[in-house]
Amino acid sequence: MTSTKAADVAPDILSPEFAQDPYRFYRVLRDEYPVLYHEATNSYLISRFADCAEAFRSPDFSSRNYEWQLEPIHGRTILQMQGTEHSRHRALLNPFFRGKGLERFMPVIMDNATRLIDDVVRRAGQSLVDGISTAGRADLVEDFSTWFPINVMVDMLGLPKSDHSRFHKWYESIMAHLNNLAGDPAVTARAAETRQELRDYMLPIIAQRRHGDGEDLLTRLCQAEVEGHRMSDEEIKAFVSLLLVAGGETTDKATATMIRNLVDNPDQLEAVRADRSLADNVIAETLRHSGPVHMIMRQTESDVELHGTTIPAGSTCIMMLSAANRDERQFRDPDRFDIFRDDLDVAKAFSGAANHVQFILGRHFCVGSLLAQREMQTALNLVLDQLHDLRYQEGFVPRERGLYTRSVPELLVEFTPANR
């Protein structure tokens, strides 16, 4: 593939060129190959917005693929459930992640973001005092975004703060496994150990919380009931494991990309610094333009006819969320990051009525979209309050990495710490 105009050679999602810049290939896929059989992954790529949105709502596409994709890591989770079993699980979980249930956890979000940003500012202030540098410096991935959502999750579950590092290690091991396209056996072995360690750690705590009177998420999950059903110990353990990825990796990456987008667009950074009511525009546009989840899988439950191609029943489909979110049939000038665009519905961007697909749509719509919104609002406001004159360190060029999920692995910034 040498030119984005060349339609004679289909883009290969596993090629090095694609890894470097998938966005130009997304356009080729949408325009020339809206349904493409990809031999190496034995799956069909679906890249247009309307096709993805419809598939997420259609019974012809299920999430049974997670039985082989994720069950070996987490155990059986809500992601792979269908029908009544899925609705029951959603009903158990939803109350904790919206409305009053979510508001109870706001102090936990604020406390964790503040601690991490305070540390960044304190270290920066110290190196200015010591004359080590002439500006505050940080890697906002290593020092902030990679810890923030995991620490929030551990605290929401009512687990000891001293276990933040332990959970972070488990998080890194699971993520390494999910991204282990090269099949490194050491990574696979470490993920198997992680699964066992997490199980050994969680099951005794779950047994205690069945009878506890705490207000934490874990106690409440242990005791919640819908239509006489409770989650089993294994299901709760699997859910905690899923949360590390579903709620950790996504928000970690989305937060880092959000800050990158603003540093890349100083006028928009200044606009939101001056008017914080634009925070949701920044978050929603980040999710649309460069959201962390580039691809998720689905499985066809019957033969599906799409753009003249028959996708046989039982096929794996790769739903290309980031290609769909840059579909010019849905958004004008889609490659441009623009917090003022009028074709993205910011008010609905965190709900099942959204007009982007970063949280997908339909019955598996992200349980944690409002939690992610709250976390990102908090992170954004603290960064704006505490890190003035935010810019990249000299010579630093942010480079995205990742296929299924994607973001900048480091974000080296300079700034003037607040009160200086």
- Which residues would be at the binding site for ligand HEM (CB under 6 A)? 63, 78-79, 90, 97, 243, 246-247, 250-251, 254, 291-293, 296, 358-360, 364, 366-368, 371-372
Q: Which is nearer to ligand HEM, 137 or 326 (CB)?
A: 326
Q: How many residues does the chain have?
A: 420
Q: Which is nearer to ligand HEM, 65 or 194 (CB)?
A: 65
- Minimum Å gap between C-beta 80 and ligand HEM is 8
CB 210 within 8 A of CB 223: yes
- Minimum Å gap between C-beta 267 and ligand HEM is 24
Collect all residues with Cβ–Cβ distance below 8 Å to 326 and sequence separation of at least 6: 23, 26, 27, 289, 334, 335
CB 291 within 8 A of CB 322: yes
- Minimum Å gap between C-beta 277 and ligand HEM is 20
Q: Which is nearer to ligand HEM, 121 or 290 (CB)?
A: 290
- Minimum Å gap between C-beta 1 and ligand HEM is 27
Q: Looking at this protein, which amino acid is placed at residue 59? A: P
- Minimum Å gap between C-beta 248 and ligand HEM is 8
Q: Which is nearer to ligand HEM, 86 or 123 (CB)?
A: 86
d(CA 267, CA 192): 47
Q: Which is nearer to ligand HEM, 227 or 394 (CB)?
A: 227
- Minimum Å gap between C-beta 56 and ligand HEM is 8
| Tokens representing residue 357 in the block | 């697909």
d(CA 326, CA 308): 23
Q: Looking at this protein, which amino acid is placed at residue 406? A: R
d(CA 174, CA 106): 27
Helix (H) or strand (E) holding 123: helix 106-129
Helix (H) or strand (E) holding 164: helix 164-178
- Minimum Å gap between C-beta 179 and ligand HEM is 16
Q: What is the DSSP letter of 224?
A: -
Q: Looking at this protein, which amino acid is placed at residue 293? A: V
Beta strand 387-392 pairing with 412-417: antiparallel
Q: Which is nearer to ligand HEM, 368 or 402 (CB)?
A: 368
Helix (H) or strand (E) holding 298: strand 295-300
Helical H segments across 212-352, by residue range: 217-223, 233-243, 250-264, 266-274, 279-290, 321-324
Q: Which is nearer to ligand HEM, 261 or 358 (CB)?
A: 358
Q: Which is nearer to ligand HEM, 10 or 378 (CB)?
A: 378
DSSP letters for 35-83: EEEETTTTEEEE--HHHHHHHHH-TTEESTTHHHHTHHHH-S-GGG--H
- Minimum Å gap between C-beta 89 and ligand HEM is 7
- Minimum Å gap between C-beta 167 and ligand HEM is 14
Give which of 24, 69, 70 is closest to 43, Cα–Cα: 69
Q: Which is nearer to ligand HEM, 66 or 415 (CB)?
A: 66
- Minimum Å gap between C-beta 387 and ligand HEM is 21
3-state DSSP call for residue 403? coil
d(CA 141, CA 89): 33
Which residue's CB atom is positioned nearest to ligand HEM? 368
- Minimum Å gap between C-beta 325 and ligand HEM is 11
Q: Which is nearer to ligand HEM, 78 or 113 (CB)?
A: 78
Q: Which is nearer to ligand HEM, 99 or 266 (CB)?
A: 99
d(CA 34, CA 323): 10
